[in-house]
Homo-oligomer: A and B are copies of this chain.
C-alpha cells in the first residue's frame, strides 16, 4: 500500500520531530474521567481515586511481530492497541489509557504514519481508552511500536495468574487457532504474489481466519459478562502465545496441574477446513498457535451452573494437584504432557546485516 507511487508522499524530515508528533496527535480527545492531562506535557496526569492502577507494555517490531507485506498499516495500529488492552482485560480490569511510541526509518512517508495512527485512534475509540502520551522518532531499520496500556479496577475485582486451585474448572472465551491459520493463509498469498504479482487472491473462504489475524479483538466484554453472572475467576491470563503456553503459566503461577480435554477445545468450522486444506493437525495448531487474544481463566466448581450453556464460555479442562502434571487428554483418551511451544520471538530471529 505504501509502495503506490501515485499516492502523496511527504518526507518525515519536512515536519521534524515536534511537528510530526503535533500533526499525528492534534485531534486526539480525552474521554476518560481518570485522564486529567494527556499529550503535550512532560508526562500525562491521571487520577484513579480509590481504584487500583494496572499497567502493561508491549514492543512490536517489523519483521519479527508483523510483516508489512500483508498487514495494512491501519490494521497494525489497531492490533497494537488490542494486544495491550488484552493484557489489562486479563487482569479483570478496565482499560483506560494508552501511550504510543513509534520509530520509523525514512522509508516511511508521513502518510504511512497517518494511516498507522488512524488504526491506533480507531482502536482507542473502540476500546474507549485515551491516548495520553508517546514518542515519535526515527529508526535505523523498519517500524517499531511500543505501547503501554493502563487500566483501573477495584482491588477485589483484580484477578491474578496465581489463584487457581486443584479442581477448579478451566474456561476459555471464544475459539483458538484461527489467528495462526490466518497468518498461514496470508503467508501463502505472499509467496503466490512474489511469483505472480498480478494474481488476484480469492480469500472468501478465509475471511474469519484473516480477520482473527489482522484485526483481532480484546475481550473487554468478559469483565462485565462475568460480573453479571456473579463469577469471579480464581486466575486469568490472555491467550497471546498459545493455549498450551498460557495453561502452563497459570499452573506454574498457581502451583497446580491441569487436564485439558482435546474434544472440548472450541474450534471454528472455517479453521477446521483450512487445517485440512493445509494438512495440519487442528489440535496442534489450537494449542500452540498464538495471537488469539481470548481469555483463559479458572473458576470454582460451584460456579459451573452460572456459566453452563453460555455461548461466550467453554469449559475445556480442570485443574489438578501440581504433582499430577499438565496434560492434554486426547479423544483417544491418551495423556500427552503439554509443552510451551508457543510463539517464541527469540528463536526465529533474523540475522542482522
Q: By the criterion CB–CB under 8 Å, are B54 and A43 in contact? A: yes
Residues of B within 8 A of A199 (CB): none
Main secondary structure of the interface of A (DSSP, over half): mixed
Question: Which residues 1-57 of A sit at the B interface, judged by CB distance below 8 A?
Answer: 12-13, 15-18, 20, 36-37, 40-50, 52-57
Contact of A138 among B55, B61, B137 (CB under 8 A): B61
Q: By the criterion CB–CB under 8 Å, are B345 and A57 in contact? A: no
Q: By the criterion CB–CB under 8 Å, are B44 and A107 in contact? A: no
Residues of B within 8 A of A137 (CB): 59, 61, 64-65, 345-346
Question: Which residues 309-353 of A sit at the B interface, judged by CB distance below 8 A?
Answer: 340, 344-347, 349-353
Q: By the criterion CB–CB under 8 Å, are B150 and A40 in contact? A: no
Nearest Cβ distance between residue A59 and chain B, in whole angstroms? 4
Q: Give how many A residues have a beta carbon under 8 Å from the other chain's beta carbons.
A: 82
A133 at the interface (CB under 8 A from B): yes
Residues of B within 8 A of A65 (CB): 137
Nearest Cβ distance between residue A49 and chain B, in whole angstroms? 8
Given contacts A41-B160, A44-B54, A48-B48, contact A141 B101 (CB under 8 A): no
| Chain A positions 139 through 156: 1 when the CB is less than 8 Å from some CB of chain B, otherwise 0 | 111101010111100010
| Chain A positions 218 through 238: 1 when the CB is less than 8 Å from some CB of chain B, otherwise 0 | 000000000000000000111
Residues of B within 8 A of A43 (CB): 54-56, 87-88, 90-91, 93, 149, 151
A-B residue pairs, 10 tightest by C-beta: A138-B349, A43-B56, A146-B146, A42-B90, A105-B352, A59-B101, A46-B53, A141-B141, A63-B140, A42-B87
Residues of A at under 8 Å CB distance from B? Answer: 12-13, 15-18, 20, 36-37, 40-50, 52-59, 61-65, 87-88, 90-91, 93, 97, 99, 101-103, 105-107, 132-142, 144, 146, 148-151, 155, 158, 160-162, 236-238, 253, 340, 344-347, 349-353
